[in-house]
Amino acid sequence: MSAARAINTNGIKVVPLSAHIGAEIHGVDLTRPLAAEHVAAIRAALLKWRVVFFREQFLTHEQHVAFSAQFGKPTLGHPVFGHVEGHREIYSISKFRKATRFEGQPLLRPWTGWHTDVTAAVNPPFASILRGVTIPPYGGDTQWTNLVVAYEKLSAPLRGFIDGLRGIHRFTAPVGASATDAFEQAVKERSLVSEHPLVRVHPETGERALYVSPSFLKSIVCLTPRESQALLDLLWEHVTRPEFTVRFKWEKGSVAFWDNRSTAHLAPSDIFDLEFDRQLYRTTLVGDIPLGPDGRASVAIEGSPVDAAAAVELN
Ligand code: SIN
C-alpha cells in the first residue's frame, strides 16, 4: 500500500479505496472498547468516506452491539422483520432470510436493489454496521454510492428544481416482484410510510445529498405519475453511476460501517446463482428526522419513529 494513500490519525490508518467513497481502517481492535480518539477518528473517516471497512474483526453479537453503541443508540434489529433471538439489536442478513417475527418463515426476496436502510421510517437509522460471518468464496460483494457527490454532479438548474421536492417512501415489494406471505404479513402489520425531502441536508456536515432510496422511494409529491416516474428513473440511474461507487469484497471477519444520510447501497443478487451460503449480521443506529434545504422536516404518514432497542417493548 502506498504511504501517500494512507492517512494516519491517532495511530490508526485510513486507506481510501476510490475517488469519492470508501476507506479501509487499520490499527483498531473492534472487540474491545475504543479509546475516545479512535472513536473520533473513525467518525471523521465515516463522514469523509461515507463507508468504512475493517478486516479480521471476529466479533460476537455482544461485541458487535458494544462497538455500535460507541457511535449511537442501537435500534431493534429491524422495525418490520424482527431480530435475532436473544439479541434484540441484531438483524440477520442471510441468503435465505427468515422473518424472525413469524417463526422463521422465509422472506426470500428474489429482487434486490439499491436502497438506503429503512427510509420508510420518518427517522431512518443514521448508520448501519454489517459484519461478515459466512462468506462465499466468490460473489456476494456489496456496493455503496455517495449521494452527496451525486447531488453535486447534477446541473445547477436540475439541483434548483429538485431542492424543493419531496418523495413518498414505503416498505413494499418493487412493482412486478412477488413477495412471500411472511413478507406481506410483516409489511401489513407494521406498515411504514414517510414523506422525505428529495434533497437532504446532512445534519453534521451541512452537505446536500440526493436522498433517493431507489427501492423505497415510490413517487414524487405534486408531480403527475408520468413526471414522477421519469424524474425518478433519471435520478436512480444518476446515483448509481460507477464513478460514485465502491464495491466491497467480503471476508469472514469483515465489518462495513456506513452513513445512511449520504449513501445508498446494493445487496448482491449473484448469490442466488451460486450454491454457497452467505450470512451477515447488522446493527443500525437511531437517526434524526431529515430536513430539506428549505428547513422542512420529513413527515410520518404511517408507523412510528424508530427508537433505541432498549426503549422498545417487545410483543
Ligand atoms: C443490507 O442491505 O443492509 C445488506 C447488504 C448486503 O447483504 O450485502
Neighbouring C-beta atoms of residue 58, cutoff 10 Å: 12
- The response to whether residue 88 sits with its C-beta less than 6 Å from ligand 1 reads no
SS3 sequence, 98-125?
EEHHHCCEECCCCCCCEECCCCCCCCCC
93 pocket-lining for ligand 1 (C-beta < 6 Å)? yes
Q: Which of 282, 283, 284, 285 most suits a substitution to test ligand 1, by most atoms within 8 Å of the C-beta?
A: 282
Gyration radius from the chain CA atoms: 19
- Ligand 1 centroid, distance to 255 Cα (angstroms): 12
Q: What is the pLDDT along the chain (315 residues), one digit of tens a residue?
A: 454 567 777 789 999 999 999 999 999 999 999 999 999 999 999 999 999 999 999 999 999 999 999 999 999 998 888 889 999 999 999 887 655 555 556 555 545 689 999 999 999 999 999 999 999 999 999 999 999 999 999 999 999 999 999 999 998 776 666 666 767 777 777 789 999 999 999 999 999 999 998 889 999 999 999 999 999 999 999 999 999 999 999 999 999 999 999 999 999 989 988 999 999 999 999 999 999 999 999 999 999 899 898 887 765
Task: Assess whether the C-beta atom of 43 lies below 6 angstroms from ligand 1.
Answer: no
Within 10 Å of residue 32's Cβ, how many Cβ atoms? Answer: 10
Nearest alpha-carbon partner for 55 in 81, 29, 37: 29
Ligand 1: does its nearest atom lie under 6 Å from the Cβ of 282? yes
**Residue 147 to residues 6, 177, 201, 208, 219: CA-CA distances in angstroms?**
24, 26, 11, 8, 18
CB count within 10 Å of CB 20 equals 18
CA dihedral 256, 89, 183, 177 (to 10 degrees): -10
Q: Which residue has the cell 443478487?
A: 269
Q: Which of the residues 117, 166, 190, 208 is marked catalytic?
A: 117
For the Cβ of 142 lying below 6 angstroms from any atom of ligand 1, the answer is: yes
CATH number of 7-306: 3.60.130.10
Is 20 designated active site? no
Q: Is 181 helix (H, G, I), strand (E, B) or coil?
A: helix
Query: Would you kindly state where each structural domain of the chain is located, as residue ranges?
Result: 7-306
C-alpha cell read off for 79:
422495525
* Strand, helix or coil for residue 158: helix
